[in-house]
């Protein structure tokens, strides 16, 4: 499957910098009408002007504010064809050392922020019978890494959201894909490195960060090819192959069971 993005409206959360900006750039280069959302106006405006995108400031943890921003962008550029959920943050630290509030902060931004963004546009996608959802997980979704006890579970939750959501929306014509980047050279990684414990650096320190542009290009290319799981590096691809094995084996059975249940429900309604 090859998808063309010309004149399609793509909304990217976390689009001011890092992977979000790279994903937005890759879509803009393909002729899409791109809108970017982030909290900080200055870098958001700068990225939007550089790639020719529309923009609105909003926090993905603020459901009402995010919904207003998305509606304004759809009113200007048309119905959302792709929602790319790239907003998030990493606050590494050993479990007993970090502030207890930081568990909720990361869960709200990384997991619920994706939920909030999707719920803004998914009803319209289902009604139109088409659309794409891109979620940003991480290699940390598969591995227990010291110092990521408050971060890794949020990315595992994002992965699980994608797995569950596919069953619900694929029959309506909406695809769901999950991106699994390893360490990526972004301002967010630079901030993260300032507070990484020695134990975390012992695991991740030997990994050369990938260019954000490479990750953004891989994400969009994966969507174009209809891939539900998108990796950039071979190590993550290896982990993903094994992690997906139970799901791959179960999915055909689940899909048949869901189809039968839906047919039964429709028959009862009629």
Question: What residues are labeled active site?
Answer: 137, 151, 155
The partner residues of 135 in beta bridges, in order of sequence, read 85, 178
Longest CA–CA separation in the chain, Å: 63
Number of helical H runs and strand E runs in the chain: 11, 9
Burial class (CB in 10 A: 0-12, 13-18, 19+), 132: buried
Closest CA to 203 of 163, 245, 151: 151
Cβ neighbours of residue 33 closer than 8 Å, sequence gap 6 or more: 7, 8, 9, 10, 54, 77, 78
Report how far residue 209's alpha carbon sits from residue 182's, in angstroms, rounded to the nearest whole number. Answer: 7
Report how far residue 152's alpha carbon sits from residue 90's, in angstroms, rounded to the nearest whole number. Answer: 9
C-alpha gyration radius of the chain: 18
Q: What are phi and psi of 195, to 5 degrees?
A: -125, 10
What is the dihedral angle through the alpha carbons of 12, 10, 165, 150, rounded to the nearest 10 degrees? -10
């Amino acid at each position: 499957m090859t998808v063309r993005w010309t004149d399609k409206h793509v909304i990217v959360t976390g689009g001011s910098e890092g992977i979000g900006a790279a994903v937005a750039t890759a879509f803009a280069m393909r002729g899409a009408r791109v809108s970017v959302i982030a909290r900080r106006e200055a870098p958001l405006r700068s990225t939007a002007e550089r790639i020719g995108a529309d923009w609105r400031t909003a926090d993905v943890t603020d459901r009402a504010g995010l919904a207003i921003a998305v509606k304004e962008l759809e009113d200007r550029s048309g119905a959302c064809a792709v929602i790319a959920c790239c907003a998030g943050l990493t606050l590494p630290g050993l479990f007993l050392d970090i502030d207890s509030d930081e568990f909720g902060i990361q869960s709200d931004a990384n997991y619920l922020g994706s939920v909030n963004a999707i719920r803004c546009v998914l009803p319209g996608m289902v009604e139109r019978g088409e659309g794409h959802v891109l979620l940003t997980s991480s290699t940390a979704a598969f591995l227990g890494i010291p110092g990521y006890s408050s971060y890794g579970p949020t990315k595992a939750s994002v992965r699980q959201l994608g797995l569950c959501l596919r069953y619900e929306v694929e029959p309506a014509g909406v695809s769901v894909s999950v991106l699994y980047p390893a360490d990526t050279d972004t301002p967010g990684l630079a901030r993260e490195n300032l507070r990484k414990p020695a134990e975390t650096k012992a695991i991740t320190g030997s990994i050369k960060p990938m260019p954000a542009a490479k990750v953004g290009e891989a994400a969009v290319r994966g969507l174009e090819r209809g891939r539900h799981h998108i990796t950039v590096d071979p190590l993550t691809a290896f982990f993903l192959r094994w992690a997906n094995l139970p799901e791959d084996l179960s999915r055909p059975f689940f899909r048949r069971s869901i189809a039968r249940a839906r047919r039964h429900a429709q028959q009862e309604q009629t």
